């Protein structure tokens, strides 16, 4: 292929890939909030009661994480559908090879989900303080386990040669040099997302994000966000370079070439824009609306670009030509107009729900 994906792909493949990427980006928005939010909360809880009380963001996270988790799961259903359309054999095989270990993410997710509700319950507020960091750390570790499992599953999908060997060994873990660096990329990438999302939440819910902190309570709200985003961006870039070094040379050449070279450059630019905005905000101690808009633009472009680069790496290991005919046949199966109609109607209904509640609650 000599064009950047999805442009160089057969029509049906490009169509499903675009749908997959679009829905995956939406999933990432909520998944990043949950993963980074749970980590932020756990770190905050470990710093003690006084610092927790002074941090507005922890209050917001405590309140919204259960809903965000519900949204992340719901938003994850669509990419799960399209990934099976595009890479059904690879996805199913990786699931089966990891078997019980893979399926363990389900009970872990249920436990974490309930613990998120427990964290904001009156019950835990009546218990000694130690319960709160304990629960927050368990939630964080649980989500990290789920992230690790997805990373392992993804890398195993790409390693066809390892399938019979892994099956024969009976092992339920897939070891790869790229595993931890790739996990780190996705983990750290969640923090700039969280910073932007919290900044918007603060603005919409009236939290004084530009407020000056009380003496002895640490950083201002904006500087907390800048630190969170900055740490995430540095971590992501470092882990990204490490992961890049673990990729085979042929894959690196292909991804940096026409296949995803433009997306790689776009990703770099998006990360730089976000870093610049947060640096300015940290120096000034406030985040103006134009700056927040610029950071948000950089964030969205970054998410799209990272999803495209991720796909370019995957397409190097999967024979898309082999599935082109079946995807073309699938596209001829009826139902697309019905989906489009209900997608629009239900999106409108969702907007209507939010507007009604905002208007009435106000």
Partner 1 sequence: MVCMPPLEYFPVIDVGPLMKGLVIGGLGIFHVFLAQFAIGGGMLLSYLQWLHMRGTCRLARRFADDYFKMLVLVSFVLGAVTGVAMWFTSIQVSPRTIATMVREFHWVWATEWTFFCLEVVAGYLFYRYGPRLADPARLQLLLLYSAASWMSLFWINGILSWQLTPGAWLESHDVWAGFFNPGFLPSLIFRTISAAAIAALAACVLVNAVGGFNREERHELVAVCARPLVAMLAMPLVGAWYLATMPADSRGWTTGGSVPMTLFLTMAVGSSTLVGLYAVVAILRQRLYVNGATATLLLALAFAATAGGEFVREGVRKPFTIREYLYSNSIARDGIEQLRQRGSATDDPYPLRDAAAYPNAQLVLGAKVFRVQCSVCHTLEGMNAVCDLAATWSIDQRRLNIAQLQRTKPFMPPFAGTPAEVEAVVQLIGWIRAGKPRAWEQTHDASVLEQIGRWLDEAGTGPGDPQLAAAEPSR
Chain residues that interact with partner 1, rule: CB under 8 A: 67, 70-71, 73-78, 80-82, 84-85, 88-89, 91-93, 95-97, 99-100, 102-103, 106, 109-110, 113-114, 117, 163-164, 167-170, 325-326, 329-330, 333-336, 338-339, 342-343, 345-347, 349-350, 353-354, 356-357, 360-361
CA distance 134 to 140: 10
Q: Residue 99 or 245: which CB sits closer to partner 1?
A: 99
State the minimum distance, in angstroms, from the CB of residue 152 to partner 1: 14
Q: Residue 231 or 331: which CB sits closer to partner 1?
A: 331
Count of CA atoms in the C-beta half-sphere (13 A) of 170: 0
State the minimum distance, in angstroms, from the CB of residue 362 to partner 1: 10
State the minimum distance, in angstroms, from the CB of residue 71 to partner 1: 7
CA distance 229 to 190: 9
Tokens encoding 178: 């790229």
State the minimum distance, in angstroms, from the CB of residue 92 to partner 1: 4
Q: Residue 281 or 327: which CB sits closer to partner 1?
A: 327
Q: Residue 19 or 211: which CB sits closer to partner 1?
A: 19
Q: Residue 241 or 336: which CB sits closer to partner 1?
A: 336
Angle at 193 between CA 181 and CA 34, to 5 degrees: 80
Burial letters 208-237, b for 16+ CB under 10 A, else e: ebbeebeeeeeebbbbbbbebbbebbebbb
What's the chain's length in residues? 362
Q: Residue 283 or 348: which CB sits closer to partner 1?
A: 348
CA distance 210 to 193: 19
State the minimum distance, in angstroms, from the CB of residue 58 to partner 1: 19
Count of CA atoms in the C-beta half-sphere (13 A) of 2: 0
Q: Which residue has the tokens 């009236």?
A: 206
Q: Residue 31 or 75: which CB sits closer to partner 1?
A: 75
| Cβ burial, residue 297 (10 Å; 0-12/13-18/19+) | middle
Q: Which backbone phi and psi does 176 adopt, to 5 degrees?
A: -150, 145
Q: Residue 217 or 346: which CB sits closer to partner 1?
A: 346
Q: Residue 36 or 98: which CB sits closer to partner 1?
A: 98
State the minimum distance, in angstroms, from the CB of residue 315 to partner 1: 20
Which whole-number Å values give the CA distances from 318 to 138, 194, 251, 311, in the listed order? 36, 32, 12, 10
State the minimum distance, in angstroms, from the CB of residue 355 to partner 1: 11
Residue pair 159/182 in contact (Cβ under 8 Å)? The answer is no
Q: Residue 3 or 111: which CB sits closer to partner 1?
A: 111
State the minimum distance, in angstroms, from the CB of residue 83 to partner 1: 10
End-to-end Cα distance, the chain: 54
- Please tell me what DSSP assigns to residue 94: H
State the minimum distance, in angstroms, from the CB of residue 360 to partner 1: 5
Tokens encoding 47: 């710093």
CA distance 15 to 13: 5
State the minimum distance, in angstroms, from the CB of residue 326 to partner 1: 5
């Amino acid at each position: 292929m000599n064009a950047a994906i999805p442009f160089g792909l057969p029509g049906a493949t490009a169509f499903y890939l675009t749908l997959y990427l679009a829905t995956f980006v939406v999933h990432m928005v909520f998944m990043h909030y949950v993963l980074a939010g749970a980590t932020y909360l756990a770190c905050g809880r470990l710093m003690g009661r006084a610092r927790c009380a002074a941090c507005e963001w922890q209050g917001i996270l405590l309140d919204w994480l259960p809903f965000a988790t519900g949204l992340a799961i719901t938003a994850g259903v669509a990419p799960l559908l399209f990934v099976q359309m595009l890479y059904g054999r690879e996805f199913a095989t990786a699931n089966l090879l990891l078997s019980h270990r893979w399926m363990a993410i389900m009970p872990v997710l249920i436990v974490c989900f309930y613990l998120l509700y427990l964290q904001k319950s009156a019950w835990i507020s009546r218990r000694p303080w130690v319960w709160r960091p304990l629960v927050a750390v368990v939630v964080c570790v649980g989500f990290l386990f789920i992230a690790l499992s997805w990373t392992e599953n993804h890398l195993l999908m790409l390693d066809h040669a390892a399938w019979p060997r892994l099956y024969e060994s009976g092992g339920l873990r897939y070891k790869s040099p790229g595993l931890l660096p790739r996990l780190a990329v996705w983990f750290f990438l969640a923090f700039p997302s969280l910073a932007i999302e919290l900044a918007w939440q603060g603005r919409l819910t009236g939290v004084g994000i530009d407020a000056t902190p009380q003496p002895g309570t640490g950083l201002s709200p904006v500087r907390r966000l800048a630190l969170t985003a900055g740490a995430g961006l540095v971590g992501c870039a470092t882990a990204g370079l490490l992961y890049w070094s673990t990729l085979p040379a042929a894959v690196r050449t292909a991804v940096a070439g026409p296949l995803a070279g433009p997306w790689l450059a776009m990703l770099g630019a998006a990360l730089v824009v976000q870093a610049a905005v947060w640096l300015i905000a940290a120096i000034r101690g406030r985040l103006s609306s134009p700056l927040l808009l610029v950071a948000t633009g950089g964030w969205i472009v970054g998410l799209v670009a990272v999803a495209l680069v991720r796909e370019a790496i995957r397409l190097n290991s999967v024979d898309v030509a082999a599935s082109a005919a079946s995807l073309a046949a699938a596209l001829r199966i009826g139902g697309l107009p019905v989906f489009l109609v209900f997608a629009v109607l239900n999106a409108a209904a969702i907007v209507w729900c939010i507007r009604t509640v905002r208007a009435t609650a106000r």
